[in-house]
Chain A
Amino acid sequence: MHTETYPQLIPLVILIPALGAFINIFWGSKLTERVSGLIGITAAVLTFIISVLIFSHLNGHHGTGSVINPVIFQTWLRIDSIGLDIPWQFRVDPLTAVMLLVVTGVGSLIHIYSMGYMHGDKKFSRFFAYLNLFMMFMLLLVTSNNFLMLFVGWEGVGVMSYLLIGFNWDKGGALGWKNSNAARKAMIVNRVGDFGVLMAIFMIFWTFGTLTFYQPGETANVCYAREVNNLGACAEESHSEGEAAAAEGETAAAEGDHSEGETVAEAEGDHSEGEAAAAEGETVAEAEGDHSEGETAEGEGDHSEGETAAAEGDHSEGETAEGEGGHGGEPVVLADVDNSKFASYTDLGVFGQTAHYMSLEEGSPERLVQFGTLALDFKTVLFIIVLFLLLGVAGKSAQIPLFVWLPDAMAGPTPVSALMHAATMVTAGVFLLIRSNVFLDYVPEARLVIAIIGSVTALMAGFIALGQWDIKRVLAFSTVSQLGFMVAAVGLGAYVAALFHLATHAVFKALLFLGSGSVIHGVEHGHHHVHAHGNGPGHGHGNGPDDHHDAHDEHVDEAFDPQDMRNMGGLASRMPITYWTYLFGTFALAGLPFFAGFWSKDEILADAFHEALEGHLLLDNLAGYIVLGLLLVAAGFTAFYMWRQVQMVFHGDPRTEAAASAPESSAWMTIPLLVLAFFSFTVGFVNVPKYTPIFSGFMGIQDYEFKHFLESAIPSVTLKESLAFNTPLALLAVVIAFSAIALSHSIYGGNKAVQGRRDPLHVNRSTRQMWSLANARLYWDEIYFRLIENPYNRLSKFLYEVVDWRFLHDYFHDSVLKAGYDSMGKLLAKPFDLGIIDGTVNGVGALVRLLSGRVRVVQTGYVRVYAVILLLGVVAVLLIMLLPLLQVQAGS
């Protein structure tokens, strides 16, 4: 297969959506809905195809990452003389590939769905333009090879989110205003996060002198990660795995391979067979010596170039052998320490350099980083950088304390909620953390903070979701909660688990959102239907086949809220496809066995369990316990509120006429639901743990395929033991999920779901307070208003009205400046105010008149006199001031 060129296609994933958006922006109004939508869909699907190609390339080669420079537009921010060079540059590695698949896969389906959902909207083409632009920025974010380009995508998706949340700002009246407020809130809260990312970027630049993740040809540095995880040196690991490390006799061949950097696989594969194992001791020594290579003179002096290269060859071969066992003889080459071609560590990307700095002795002067006037130890710097990044993550991925924008973001059209506020944009924060995994590896203190933030968010949002009425709001808080799971996983160092959950969650949460969109659509139409037929013929239902689709555009009746679950019920029979697919999503989210969420959530729990018991640091243990405890409860909440929702929406009897006459949605909408439902069940099988009962080896399912795929992008993953399936823990999680559903069913089952527009938990005295607290969203918004928004507004007014206007503008001007001028002018003008000067005054006055024509408008007399006094004053002051100077000069 000639797949080497596939990664070169990567700039297209930016250009194609950009082109789609461009067409829709400039000619959208002239295009029909169908053409306009198809342009958007085509753009999305093409990016998906490219993503699949890139994925197939990486998968086939068990790929190391590669750096791709675009053909045009290579440079961006470059100031030659000071070494500031931030190019437009792409990185294609397994992590990127996974994100590409998620974004373009889910994105394409949502584009298709929008075709049905937005049908009849007067801003149809603009919607697709925005969706395409969003895809563009999101893809820029995940394919970037440096922090700043990532930041372009990061802020870009923020702006698209702003535009799409506020898409219906023109709804009119309070509703439109509410939408635009939600948009503004989202953007501002996100900017608070962006502040963190910016600060992190500044610090990264002054620490490393670059913002690039990995330089072309550079490989992720496994050995350092191994060390920091206390997993022993590289070679020992491969030894303990019991796999023979194949030594590369031919140094030259090894070097040749590595100089290619990215696509080493085939060449390596040839050597992996038949080569005898080398002496282990030598391998260890050399592989270790390699860290310091290029940094210190002695390090290099120890080995000749050739030896070093050989040692590296060894190491990758060692890992290869291990991988081969699991992958049926397919040649696997792992990225490893082969950065010998870089003359100095400063030529490496940020992550390579991190490893270098951390290998230095603590307290050594070289580890000191200078920020202008501040000098800090490298590890402290890393800690601060990670915390700043965490602030950004809290903003984008809706963690405490910045999650407050996400529930409000539900003001956007439902496809937007599905695409951005569930599947892709909000995962950008998690992605950023995973991308920075090398940083995180070295600062367990920061990871503990991340783990706590994540798991507390998961629990808190899960709790709030229990008390919501709005179908989308429940899902929004559920998203916050699930993002908490991912962030917590990152905090544990379980990057693969986090990414796995990110991917599965993208699928089933997009499914749930689209399902809820279908429900809302149905209820709106049902309402419209009832309204049109029941309340009078005035409302045009008969104006044409398209007309009734406008329903969600015009709120016929402001009081009726089609998103309020109290207005639903019994939709299962009315909307069967929506119902069944929604059930799949619910089961996946709740983590019922063998659905996607089961595998991914379980992996996070297993990692937490593992860290708690066997973490190498006290901090790890602590993080493990906290995360495990909180997440188990949060998982219970998840199953509980999801079943509550299913009960309220689909089961029981319809509670409104609208619900009773809701139609199933069109094929544009149901087909994406079916596809997503299929993947909600199957996608989890890509990362089945080893020794899983039944599934291990069943029907060609490989252990930890996903994990193996990611090894070269996340160095420390290679080193972590691949955990065996933890049956007791899995059972515990399943029991929790089932009992939560059972409990939920006993409370909300049948027609008990809503009792007089009140929740059964609200009716019940003993649970009323708790439920009210959840319903009030723990008063987060109120607290924010009191502590931040209100003081900010008041201070703003005070600064303007009192400080700036009354003091600086009026008082200072009138009493100091103007008065000063007046008195000075009078004082100085008086002695001259005879004869000679008078003539000059008139002369100047005449000149002014001449210049300005007949400026009667201005000539209040006041201005002219002013100007003249001023002029005289100036001259006089000058004379006085200069006199001594002239004398000094004359005297010298």
Chain B
Amino acid sequence: MFEGLSLTTIVLFLPMVGFTILLFLNQETQKEQIKWTAFGTTMVTFFASLILWAGFDPNNPALQMVHRFTWLNVQVGNVAINSDYYVGVDGLSLLLVLLTTFIMPIATLASFSSGVLAERGREKLYYAFLLLLEWAMIGVFVVQDLIVFYVFWEVTLVPMYFLVGIWGGEQRVYAAVKFFLYTMAGSILMLIAILYVGNVAGTFVLPDVVARVTAPDFSWTATTAASASDITGALLFFGFFIAFAIKVPVFPFHSWLPDAHVQAPTAGSVILAGVLLKMGTYGLVRFNLQMFPAESIQFAPLIGVLAVIGIIYGAWVSYAQTDVKKLVAYSSVSHLGFVVLGIFSLNAQGIQGATLQMVNHGISTGGLFLLVGMLYERYHTKDMAAYGGIWSKAPWFGAVALVVALSSMGLPGLNGFVGEFTILLGSVGSKYLGFFFTLFATLGVIMAAVYILYMFQRVFMGDYKAPGGHDGHGHGHGHDAHSDDNPLKLHWNEVVVLIPILILIFWIGLQPGGFFDTMDAATNQLVAHVEAANETTVAGALEQNGLTVGTGTTTTEVASNPGN
């Protein structure tokens, strides 16, 4: 079990070490130790993941830092269940692991001054859930086995469910249940698909499944050769797709999102937007594209349409909001539409842009939720009508909010633009989407300005409205010793969490090279893998029509595209 232990496993289980320590601390007498243990754990995990990054060879497209041993190898009747504990990172998953370990300390530290946590207590449970969540999320990104993946995938639900359900807003129960129901609905389909795939492929280990799938004459039905009328592959594809689409969320599967976001405590929203949604988009890349390349190609236009609708619809609905948190929540629908569009462009630009945009969205939208959370701590409302002129009383807070808002809006020079641009660039040149998808998707750039600037104007400009009836202090969370006239003055931890967000906004905006380099090799391999399926399909179609294969027409066209 510990043979061949790799850094990936260490990063994965570090949060559980902290979790275990927490269990031995006393909720009543050791509050300080509890939160510092949690924060310390997330920081250690973060640094460990940086070491992971440092040791990662970006030129190698294969999984690295692999740790693998047999976990389940049973024979039930004629059915063999082969499932391994198999973790490792490639460029794509590494970036998402980094995102997770980056967001978690921020979410943890931001909770230090949380009013709702001070009010409802149970800090031990709260921080334990955060660590459990981190463990599960990292697990989702590093495991290479379908069964183990599913376990981690489901485990993420539990802490999130309780974070929303216990420390959430007024309608927290409704929101928590809805979150649970929607995700479960998708998960069931995925589980069925996983079991089916595992049975047909004879293994649940993803790389093995992929190898099996790409073998010639492979068919999902296992009995007959591939034929056009066989929809098993499509069904399996959608089994995974719907589960991921709900998580992303892709329009029209998004209606759990506003509830969950609005009701979740700040840290919950940050994690939800920052990492949890990325599990969906990551899943699309990792599972749908890898296991079902032909189906991915086949359904790319359909999903592209959903993505574009999501972009426009999310932005449009966002504009109608009066609740600032809901506005940010709907903006996620729009932003993740871009990500899905990039993924199903099925070319290197699209997928790399999408992956970077996953990170970007985590930073920008995570940042927005942090800011909104800070406002909520002071105003105790999310209604924008109660806000106003905050910039005039809190110039630095306003300036930071402006930068984060502009980053979310995709201003060139900041992080959001780099991802969005690369995605849209990919979609124009995509053989499966193309110009008109881009044309409509790019409208989202205008619409983002409409809702973001309206939000910024209502909250930060105009006449100053003081937090009504509250002085912004005295929630009994131990940090109001330095009494100050300005209720908008930030706590030290609130300042600290914003700094790394700002740094990354500028860093990725100005020098995204390192991030692209990290995923370059892995993406290329993936694109080549999908492309190979395309050629087989084309060849198959040609054969069926009695034509000879190998005229090379498709390949020449590919080559003549300058970006390829």
Interface residues of A (CB under 8 A from B): 25, 73, 75-84, 148, 151-152, 154-156, 159, 162, 166, 169-170, 172-173, 176-177, 180-181, 184, 187-188, 191-192, 194-195, 198-199, 202-203, 205-210, 346, 370-374, 792-793, 795-797, 799-801, 804, 808-809, 812-813, 817-818, 821, 851-853, 855, 857-858, 860, 862-863, 866-867, 870, 874, 877-878, 881-882, 885-886, 889-890, 892
Q: Which residues of chain A are near B181, meaning CB under 8 Å?
A: 817-818, 821, 870
The answer to whether A82 and B165 touch (CB under 8 A), given A206-B563, A796-B316, A796-B319, is no
Do B453 and A80 have beta carbons less than 8 Å apart? no
Bound: A302/B515 CA distance, A: 47
Q: Which of B171-200 contact A (CB under 8 A)?
A: 172-173, 176-178, 180-182, 184-185, 188, 191-192, 195-196, 199
Q: Which residues of chain B are near A866, meaning CB under 8 Å?
A: 177
Q: B7-15, B405-413, B487-495: which one contacts chain A?
A: B405-413
Looking at the complex, which one of A169, A346, A882 makes contact with B461 (CB distance below 8 Å)?
Answer: A169
Which residue of chain A has the shortest Cβ distance to B221 in the bound complex?
A888
How many whole Å from A886's CB to the nearest CB in chain B? Answer: 6
Q: Which of B514-559 contact A (CB under 8 A)?
A: 516-517, 520-521, 524, 557
What are 18 pairs between A and B in contact, CB < 8 Å? A76-B512, A77-B422, A79-B352, A84-B425, A148-B421, A152-B412, A162-B453, A198-B442, A198-B445, A199-B442, A208-B562, A372-B428, A808-B255, A821-B185, A852-B125, A867-B180, A877-B188, A890-B77
Interface residues of B (CB under 8 A from A): 76-79, 120, 122, 125, 158, 162, 165-166, 172-173, 176-178, 180-182, 184-185, 188, 191-192, 195-196, 199, 222-223, 252, 254-255, 258-259, 313, 316-317, 319-321, 347-349, 352, 389, 391-392, 399, 406, 411-413, 418, 421-422, 424-425, 427-439, 442-443, 445-446, 449-450, 453-454, 457, 461-463, 510-513, 516-517, 520-521, 524, 557, 560-564
Q: Which residues of chain B are near A813, meaning CB under 8 Å?
A: 178, 255
Do A188 and B449 have beta carbons less than 8 Å apart? yes
Q: Which residues of chain A are near B461, meaning CB under 8 Å?
A: 166, 169-170, 176-177, 180
Q: Which residues of chain A are near B199, meaning CB under 8 Å?
A: 885, 889
Q: Which residues of chain A are near B520, meaning CB under 8 Å?
A: 79-81
Q: Which 6 pairs from chain A and chain B are nearest by CB?
A: A209-B562, A372-B434, A800-B320, A373-B434, A152-B412, A808-B255
Bound: A891/B122 CA distance, A: 54
Q: Which residues of chain B are near A792, meaning CB under 8 Å?
A: 319, 450
Do B563 and A209 have beta carbons less than 8 Å apart? yes
Do B412 and A863 have beta carbons less than 8 Å apart? no
Do A858 and B173 have beta carbons less than 8 Å apart? yes
Q: Identify whether the interface residues of B are mostly helix, strand, loop, or mixed.
A: helix
Bound: A886/B79 CA distance, A: 7
How many whole Å from A827's CB to the nearest CB in chain B? Answer: 15
Bound: A374/B180 CA distance, A: 43
Looking at the complex, which one of A76, A187, A210, A809 makes contact with B510 (CB distance below 8 Å)?
Answer: A76
Q: Which residues of chain B are near A889, meaning CB under 8 Å?
A: 77-79, 199
Chain B CB within 10 Å, residue with most, of A76, A198, A801, A886: A198
How many whole Å from B332's CB to the nearest CB in chain A? Answer: 14
Which residue of chain B has the shortest Cβ distance to A810 in the bound complex?
B255
Bound: A205/B431 CA distance, A: 15
The answer to whether A184 and B453 touch (CB under 8 A), given A177-B462, A817-B182, is yes
Q: Which residues of chain A are near B436, meaning CB under 8 Å?
A: 374
The answer to whether A194 and B445 touch (CB under 8 A), given A166-B461, A180-B462, A882-B195, is yes
Looking at the complex, which one of B76, B125, B392, B411 makes contact with A853 (CB distance below 8 Å)?
Answer: B125
The answer to whether A188 and B317 touch (CB under 8 A), given A863-B176, A885-B196, is no
The answer to whether A82 and B463 touch (CB under 8 A), given A188-B453, A202-B428, A372-B433, is no
Which residue of chain A has the shortest Cβ distance to B463 in the bound complex?
A172
| Besides A78-B513, A198-B445, A874-B191, 15 new A-B residue pairs in contact (Cβ under 8 A), listed by A number | A25-B399, A77-B422, A79-B422, A82-B524, A154-B412, A159-B411, A188-B446, A198-B421, A205-B429, A801-B320, A804-B313, A808-B254, A857-B166, A890-B77, A890-B78
How many whole Å from A290's CB to the nearest CB in chain B? Answer: 23
Q: Which residues of chain A are near B192, meaning CB under 8 Å?
A: 877-878, 881-882
Looking at the complex, which one of A151, A187, A800, A863 makes contact with B453 (CB distance below 8 Å)?
Answer: A187
Q: Which residues of chain B are near A799, meaning CB under 8 Å?
A: 313, 316-317, 320
The answer to whether A82 and B348 touch (CB under 8 A), given A151-B412, A191-B446, A808-B252, is yes
The answer to whether A809 and B255 touch (CB under 8 A), given A191-B445, A796-B316, A889-B199, is yes
Q: Which residues of chain A are near B389, meaning CB under 8 Å?
A: 170
Which residue of chain B has the shortest Cβ distance to A797 in the bound complex?
B320
How many whole Å from A180's CB to the nearest CB in chain B? Answer: 4
Q: Which residues of chain A are near B120, meaning CB under 8 Å?
A: 857
Do A370 and B561 have beta carbons less than 8 Å apart? yes
Do A205 and B184 have beta carbons less than 8 Å apart? no
Do A83 and B513 have beta carbons less than 8 Å apart? no
How many whole Å from A807's CB to the nearest CB in chain B? Answer: 9
Q: Which residues of chain B are near A374, meaning CB under 8 Å?
A: 434-436
Bound: A858/B163 CA distance, A: 11
Looking at the complex, which one of B413, B424, B433, B446 makes contact with A373 (CB distance below 8 Å)?
Answer: B433
Q: Which residues of chain A are near B165, meaning CB under 8 Å?
A: 855, 857-858, 863
Which residue of chain A has the shortest Cβ distance to B258 in the bound complex?
A809
Q: Which residues of chain A are near B446, meaning CB under 8 Å?
A: 188, 191-192, 194-195
Q: Which residues of chain A are near B122, meaning CB under 8 Å?
A: 853
Do B421 and A77 have beta carbons less than 8 Å apart? yes
Bound: A889/B176 CA distance, A: 39
How many whole Å from A567's CB to the nearest CB in chain B? Answer: 27
Q: Which residues of chain A are near B433, meaning CB under 8 Å?
A: 372-373
Do B77 and A184 have beta carbons less than 8 Å apart? no
How many whole Å from B504's CB to the nearest CB in chain A? Answer: 16
Bound: A368/B429 CA distance, A: 14
Bound: A881/B193 CA distance, A: 10
Do B431 and A373 have beta carbons less than 8 Å apart? yes
Looking at the complex, which one of A82, A795, A870 makes contact with B180 (CB distance below 8 Å)?
Answer: A870
Bound: A594/B530 CA distance, A: 68
Bound: A808/B177 CA distance, A: 16
How many whole Å from B163's CB to the nearest CB in chain A? Answer: 11
Q: Which residues of chain A are near B195, meaning CB under 8 Å?
A: 878, 882, 885
Bound: A719/B287 CA distance, A: 59
Q: Which residues of chain A are near B222, meaning CB under 8 Å?
A: 892
Do A372 and B166 have beta carbons less than 8 Å apart? no
